[in-house]
Amino acid sequence: MRRQATFVVVAVFAASCAQTVNVEQEKAALMAIDTEWSKSTTNVDKFLSYVAPDATLAISGAPAFKGEKAIRAAMTPMMSSPGFSLTWKTERADVAASGDLGYTIVSYTLKTATPGGIPVTETGKGQTTWKKINGTWKVIEDTATSDAPGALLSPAVVVPAASVKWMDAPPFLPKGAKLAVLIGDPSKPEPFTIRLQMPDGYKIAPHTHPTDEHVTVLSGTFRAAMGPKWDDKALTDFAPGSYANMAATMAHHAQAKGATVVQVHGVGPFVVNYVNPADDPSKAK
């Protein structure tokens, strides 16, 4: 009797070990949930409900965002920016034999608008790694690569000082400033360099950018501070030759002390998202 009972237990255990995951079924499930996720890009809470707490999100032209807090800080201003739209089509999926790890490949379309209101469209490819956590598929890694040509394809450009063409700054900046584009198109997902000429006392209210903003002071004194609220005491004076990198999604504000010129370079689209929408000059009535 004891031998028979032991045989039954061993047989049941062997049978359970022999059970395999229905990979095709899991692929279909992953395709479906990725498609569902694509419909959440107008609501950051819904978007994050598909994402693991320690996930990593990497977008072309921006640093990787690690963890829910960083991803929320990056996606919230992006989703609320004028003209924003992000859609994608899930092309295919694959799942490991274990049934708890897989990936999806997508083609995406990102629509935004320049601070002056010019529509911008970017297309690209994305790969998302999914993992089953407590029986539910969650995003653990998401990367997106733009179809736009890279920085290595930028043309050689030489602009003598006398050839710099100044124009009124776009509506997203307070009136009184002049702007010059040296290379690239700041409205497109490509490298660019611009200059901003500001009169004495000129202020730019607290704002963020979805990508890094590299600032070099050419003349005058550029005053800047970090933080979502204006703070005169926090402003630091930067003399000509100074450099600062305003990291993506980091709130900051600035002021000119005397007539000041700064040079800004980065990877577009160059978008300014004011912390307080009422500070956006382009929306002033």
CA distance 20 to 274: 53
Q: What CATH code is carried by the domain that includes residue 61? A: 3.10.450.50
Angle at the Cα of 78 from the Cα atoms of 77 and 84, rounded to 5 degrees: 130
Final residue of a domain: which of 146, 178, 203?
A: 146
Q: What CATH code is carried by the domain that includes residue 271? A: 2.60.120.10
Determine if the pTM surpasses 0.85: no
Residues 96 and 173 in one domain: no
DSSP code string of 184-238: S-TTSSSEEEEEEEE-TT-EEEEEE-SS-EEEEEEEEEEEEEESSS--GGG-EEE
- Do residues 247 and 167 lie in contact, with contact meaning Cβ atoms separated by under 8 Å? no
Mean pLDDT of 97-113: 91
Final residue of a domain: which of 101, 119, 146?
A: 146
Mean pLDDT of 228-254: 94
In sequence order, which residues have a C-beta less than 8 Å from that of residue 110 and are 6 or more positions away? 85, 86, 121, 122, 123, 124
> Is residue 1 scored above 50 in pLDDT?
no
Residues 135 and 218 in one domain: no
Mapped onto helix, strand or coil, the DSSP state of residue 160 is coil
Residues 140 and 190 in one domain: no
151 belongs to a structural domain? no
Q: Could you give phi then psi for residue 279, rounded to 5 degrees?
A: -85, -10
Mean pLDDT of 72-87: 86
> What does the pLDDT read at residue 156?
63
> Is residue 117 scored above 50 in pLDDT?
yes
Which amino acid is residue 108, in one-letter code? Answer: Y
- Do residues 139 and 160 lie in contact, with contact meaning Cβ atoms separated by under 8 Å? no
Residues 46 and 131 in one domain: yes
> What does the pLDDT read at residue 253?
96
CB atoms within 10 A of CB 199: 13
Mean pLDDT of 212-218: 94
Final residue of a domain: which of 90, 122, 146?
A: 146
CA distance 58 to 66: 9
**SS3 sequence of 119-139:** EEEEEEEEEEEEEEECCEEEE
> Is residue 62 scored above 70 in pLDDT?
no
CA distance 155 to 220: 30
* Alpha-carbon torsion angle 64, 151, 246, 219, nearest 10: 170
How many domains does the chain fold into? 2
CA distance 109 to 87: 5
> What does the pLDDT read at residue 150?
52
Mean pLDDT of 64-93: 89
10 belongs to a structural domain? no
> What does the pLDDT read at residue 90?
96
> What does the pLDDT read at residue 20?
75
6 belongs to a structural domain? no
Residues 65 and 182 in one domain: no
Residues 63 and 87 in one domain: yes
Mean pLDDT of 114-136: 83
Confidence band (pLDDT; 50, 70, 90) for 153? very low
Mean pLDDT of 173-182: 95
Residues 109 and 194 in one domain: no
154 belongs to a structural domain? no
State the chain's mean pLDDT as an integer.
87
User: For the ranges 50-64, 225-239, 257-271, which has the lowest average pLDDT?
Assistant: 50-64
Share of the chain above pLDDT 90, in %: 65
Identify the domain containing residue 112 by its residue range: 21-146
- What would the pLDDT profile of 5-57 be if each residue is shown by its tens digit? 444 444 444 444 445 789 999 999 999 999 999 999 999 999 999 999 999 99
5 belongs to a structural domain? no
